[in-house]
């Protein structure tokens, strides 16, 4: 699959003056609820009304969606509001029912993206469709797996494609429900700059109070749009209550968001950026030089451990480093999350160096 300008055709056809927006409840609960929210979003920046019809649950016993009857509600909402309708599909059966009910936008969820067999089944069922088909990143931070899902759909002759960045699962406790791992989405964006990229701040944050913050971060990175869970009574929603906003709150978010220009258009801007980027290049070179020196010290440590038959991992020492670096990083305006990630990677590289020495 190669990047092509035509990948943006479906998005360009909306002829929007603002970012593309998909919004609606996590789950369709009742016909009344669906229609009430759809009407509340009708006269706004929302282009597609979303509602979960089938809800994959981690454990059995939870609310797993209303099923096929909910598609009838979406058809009625479309007829009454003119909004396009969208929902998640996870099986061939879901796809067939969605197509039969003329759902306009389908997306493959994170759990499904992680299973190439399931994605291929969906691709075969949707082969040649002119519906918009989006694919969320897999639950695990694997850009190749995410891109592989897109490629399977593309190979099936589905041209109206896009991706949704909903964050990645982690065992670590962070402020996010699913950590963004922005660099993975940026890497995909660099490979396929014309493949529409949409942020899902609801699933990244798990917290309605952070929706604006994360959406703004995405727009600052040139994302094309957003998918935001919106409910008329969020606190009493049947699923994911904490991450849903009201229609009024969503409209305020639209007002508060700032859409940036792709680039500056003055010589002064260009000159300032050239100087600052040159400074960054020098600092990056210095960082690599320092990291190289650090690894040489790690090699020496590895040799001392080998000579004395000592294990590589020293947990007490590692814990001391983390505590110290988090404190020092805070003084320099660096977040704890960044420091932890950075030094885990450095620590892993050091372990790799020492393993080579101990096993040589």
Helices (runs of H) and strands (runs of E) counted in the chain: 14, 8
If one counts every other C-beta atom within 10 angstroms of the C-beta of residue 276, the result is 10
pLDDT of 179 reads 94
For residue 21, give the H/E element and its range: strand 20-24
Assess contact for 237 and 25: CB atoms under 8 A. yes
pLDDT of 134 reads 98
If we measure between CA atoms, which residue out of 26, 90, 43, 47 comes closest to residue 225? 47
pLDDT of 10 reads 98
Residue at token pair 């399931």: 118
Interval 129-159: pLDDT, tens: 999 999 999 999 999 999 999 999 999 999 9
Assess contact for 346 and 291: CB atoms under 8 A. yes
pLDDT of 270 reads 87
Which tokens hold the place of 347? Answer: 């620590």
Please state the rounded mean pLDDT for residues 251-279: 90
Give me the percent of the chain exceeding a pLDDT of 70: 99
pLDDT of 345 reads 93
pLDDT of 170 reads 85
**Is the predicted pLDDT of residue 247 greater than 90, yes or no?**
yes
**Is the predicted pLDDT of residue 86 greater than 90, yes or no?**
yes
Assess contact for 132 and 162: CB atoms under 8 A. yes
Question: Which ranges of 165-266 does DSSP label H, i.e. alpha helix?
Answer: 182-191, 201-205, 211-220, 247-256
Interval 67-76: pLDDT, tens: 999 999 999 9
pLDDT band with cut points at 50, 70 and 90 for residue 124: very high
Assess contact for 63 and 237: CB atoms under 8 A. no
Please state the rounded mean pLDDT for residues 257-279: 88
pLDDT band with cut points at 50, 70 and 90 for residue 206: very high
pLDDT band with cut points at 50, 70 and 90 for residue 266: confident
Give, to the nearest 10 degrees, the angle between helix 211-220 and helix 247-256.
40
- The more confident residue out of 174 and 152 is 152
Q: Residues 6 or more apart from 324 whose CB is under 8 A from it?
A: none
Longest dimension (CA), the chain: 78
Instruction: Classify strands 84-89 and 105-108 as parallel, antiparallel or unpaired.
Output: parallel
In terms of Cβ atoms closer than 10 Å to its own Cβ (0-12, 13-18, 19+), residue 345 is exposed
**Is the predicted pLDDT of residue 263 greater than 90, yes or no?**
no
Give dist(CA 222, CA 259) in Å, integer. 9
pLDDT of 59 reads 72
Mean pLDDT taken over the chain: 94
If we measure between CA atoms, which residue out of 51, 27, 29 comes closest to residue 38? 51
Interval 309-353: pLDDT, tens: 999 888 888 889 989 999 999 999 999 989 998 999 999 999 999
Which tokens hold the place of 239? Answer: 């699923």
pTM for this prediction: 0.85
Which tokens hold the place of 218? Answer: 């995405």
pLDDT of 315 reads 87
DSSP string, 43-72: TSS--EEE-BSS---SSTTS----TTHHHH
Expressed in angstroms, the distance from the first to the final Cα of the chain is 42
């Amino acid at each position: 699959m190669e990047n092509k300008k035509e990948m943006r055709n479906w998005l360009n056809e909306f002829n929007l003056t603002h970012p593309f927006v998909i919004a609606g409840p996590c789950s369709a609960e009742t016909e009344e609820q669906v229609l009430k929210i759809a009407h509340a979003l009708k006269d706004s920046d929302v282009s597609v009304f979303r509602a979960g019809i089938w809800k994959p649950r981690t454990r059995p016993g939870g609310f797993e969606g209303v099923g096929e009857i909910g598609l009838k509600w979406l058809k009625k909402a479309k007829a009454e509001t003119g909004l396009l309708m969208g929902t998640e599909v996870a099986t061939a059966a879901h796809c067939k029912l969605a197509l039969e009910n003329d759902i306009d936008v389908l997306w493959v969820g994170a759990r499904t993206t992680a299973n190439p067999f399931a994605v291929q089944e969906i691709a075969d069922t949707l082969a040649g469709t002119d519906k918009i088909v989006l694919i969320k990143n897999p639950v695990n931070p694997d850009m190749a797996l995410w891109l592989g899902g897109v490629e399977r759909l593309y190979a099936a002759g589905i041209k109206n494609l896009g991706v949704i960045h909903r964050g990645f699962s982690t065992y670590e406790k962070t402020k996010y429900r699913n950590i963004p791992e922005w660099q993975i989405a940026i890497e995909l964006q660099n490979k396929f700059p014309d493949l529409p990229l949409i942020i899902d701040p609801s699933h990244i944050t798990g917290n309605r109070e952070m929706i604006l913050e994360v959406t703004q971060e995405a727009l600052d990175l040139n994302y094309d749009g957003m998918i935001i869970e919106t409910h008329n009574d969020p606190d009493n929603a049947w699923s994911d209550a904490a991450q849903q906003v009201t229609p009024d709150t969503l409209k305020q978010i639209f007002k508060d968001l700032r859409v940036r220009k792709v680039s500056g258009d003055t010589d002064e801007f260009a000159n300032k950026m050239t100087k600052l980027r040159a400074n960054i290049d020098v600092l990056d070179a210095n960082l690599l030089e320092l990291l190289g020196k650090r690894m040489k010290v790690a090699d020496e440590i590895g040799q001392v451990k080998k000579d004395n038959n000592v294990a590589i991992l020293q947990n007490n020492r590692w814990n001391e480093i983390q505590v110290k670096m988090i404190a020092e990083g805070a003084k320099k305006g660096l977040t704890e999350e960044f420091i932890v990630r950075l030094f885990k990677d450095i620590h892993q590289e050091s372990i790799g160096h020492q393993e080579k020495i101990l096993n040589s």
